[in-house]
Amino acid sequence: MPLILIGANHKTAPLELRESLSFGPEEQAEALQSLLEPPGLDEALILSTCNRTEVLAHGADPHVCVQRVRSLMVGRSPQLERELEEHIYVLMDSQAVRHLFSVASSMDSMVVGEPQILGQVKEAYRLAVQNGTAGPMLNRLLHHAFRVSKRVRTETDIGRGAVSVAYAAVEMARSIFRSLMDKTVLLVGAGEMVELAAKHLKERGVQRILVSNRTLSRAEALAAQLGGQAVPLESLSSQLYRADMVLSCTGSQMPIIGLEHVKSALRTRKNRPMFFIDIAVPRDVDPRVGNLNNVFLYDLDDLQKVVENHKGARQEELKKATAILEEETKRFSSWLNTLEAEPTIRALARWADQVRQGELERSIQKLKGLSEKERETLEAMSKAIVSKLLHRPISRIREQSGKEGSAGYLEVARELFGLNGETK
């Protein structure tokens, strides 16, 4: 009863590849249908967010599953066919379960502990249910995943602010500004780091967001998404005074915010404090800006420094969360393994019944002239013997298969009863 998970996330694949692999809701429905149409796969689910695309599939034959999903992905980005191999991960059974649990409880997120991912997993499940591609296996697995996520959230402090650029930036901003509600944030660059940080800022109550980017259309898209306003990069220096907080991450080789820009912005804003967060490498903001009065400049290293202490406490929380994941994975896997034993058990029962019927026929032929009643008694007796004989091995198999490392046990059982070649 193999369960497989194939995917690419922010840790394994660059942005372009993730972009080409991502599915919109309609595409997702289509892809789900195309996965299940040819026989071989029983259930499937697609999770597609800006940081990951993962396909969860369940079918009788793992090779068929992997092949089917892989070709779906290659179909999304044919030019990346060769590269794809090094950027995707293929996980089986308990590994797939553990991974799904860790995704759903936000342990695999770029910003560990961020809350949106659970909603995204739920949405993916809803789509699978809607398209009829979620069956008993996925129903059980996904509901278990939701429970795990809830457990992690309530039993650990993982969700209490994530170790991330966005988190550190907001915490820092709170020691400078009274409230973020009435502040204007200027985003320079519209890459994923900026986007993610911006979403976090918005969640924490920032209302006014300006987006500046080399390609204006990208800035406009992000601004629309955040309910902000796009600013052409050329007018950045003249608009700088509007920003209380500047978050910059562009690919520029030269600093794009110079000392004079900031000085003149400060004059216009009558020295109201400005907070610059420069997470670009190489840097976007002239480091001398940090020496100005009422200006605070933090780069990536600085942000890491200010959350360092915090990290220690979080390590503890991560440990706790990991323990929960392990425990729950084990629980689900043991159920999964019981399922794994089912074909063997059925084969065993089928084989025993064939033997019984064969022997019964032969005996009846030998004992000619039996009454109806006598035949029935004979048949009942044979059934009773078989079921009594099988009861012990079958319950032993069920029992053992729930445990870790039971694959060998099943193998032995098959070998012992000569079932290999019969189950498939």
Partner 1 sequence: MILVSWKICLVAYALSAGLLFWHIKGKGSPARVWYRVIVIVGFAAQTSVILWGVWSALRLPITNLSGALHFLSWCTVGAYLLAAWRYGVASVGVVALPLAAVMWALGGPPRLPASVSPLVDSHWLTVHGLLSFAGEASLAIAFGAGLLYLLQERRIRSRCSVESLGRLPSLEILDEVNYRCLSVGFLLLTAGIITGAIWASEVWGSYWSWQAKETWGLITWLVYAGLLHQRLNAGWRGKRAATMAVLGFLLVLFTFAGAGLMGSGPHRFDKFQG
Q: What is the set of active-site residues? A: 50
Residues 6+ apart with CB under 8 A from 370: 364, 378
CB of 201 to partner 1, least distance (A): 16
CB of 91 to partner 1, least distance (A): 36
> Which residue number, 116 or 304, has a Cβ lying nearer to partner 1?
304
> Which residue number, 63 or 305, has a Cβ lying nearer to partner 1?
305
Backbone angles phi, psi at 328, to 5 degrees: -70, -35
CB half-sphere exposure, 29, CA atoms < 13 A: 8
CB of 195 to partner 1, least distance (A): 23
Residues near partner 1 (CB under 8 A): 168, 171-172, 174-178, 267, 270-273, 293-294, 296, 298, 302, 305-310
Residues 409 and 386: their CA atoms lie apart, in Å, by 22
CB of 175 to partner 1, least distance (A): 4
CB of 291 to partner 1, least distance (A): 9
> Which residue number, 174 or 319, has a Cβ lying nearer to partner 1?
174
> Which residue number, 48 or 184, has a Cβ lying nearer to partner 1?
184
Annotate the chain with three-state secondary structure: CCEEEEEEECCCCCHHHHHHHCCCHHHHHHHHHHHHCCCCEEEEEEEECCCEEEEEEEECCHHHHHHHHHHHHHHHCHHHHHHHHHHCEEEEHHHHHHHHHHHHCCCCCCCCCCCHHHHHHHHHHHHHHHCCCCCHHHHHHHHHHHHHHHHHHHHCCCCCCCCCHHHHHHHHHHHHCCCCCCCEEEEECCCHHHHHHHHHHHHCCCCEEEEEECCHHHHHHHHHHHCCEEEEHHHHHHHHHHCCEEEECCCCCCCCECHHHHHHHHHHCCCCCEEEEECCCCCCECHHHHHCCCEEEEEHHHHHHHHHHHHHHHHHHHHHHHHHHHHHHHHHHHHHHHHHHHHHHHHHHHHHHHHHHHHHHHHHHHCCCCCHHHHHHHHHHHHHHHHHHHHHHHHHHHHHHCCCCCHHHHHHHHHHHCCCCCCC
> Which residue number, 231 or 245, has a Cβ lying nearer to partner 1?
245
Residues 32 and 37: their CA atoms lie apart, in Å, by 9
CB of 183 to partner 1, least distance (A): 9
> Which residue number, 168 or 219, has a Cβ lying nearer to partner 1?
168
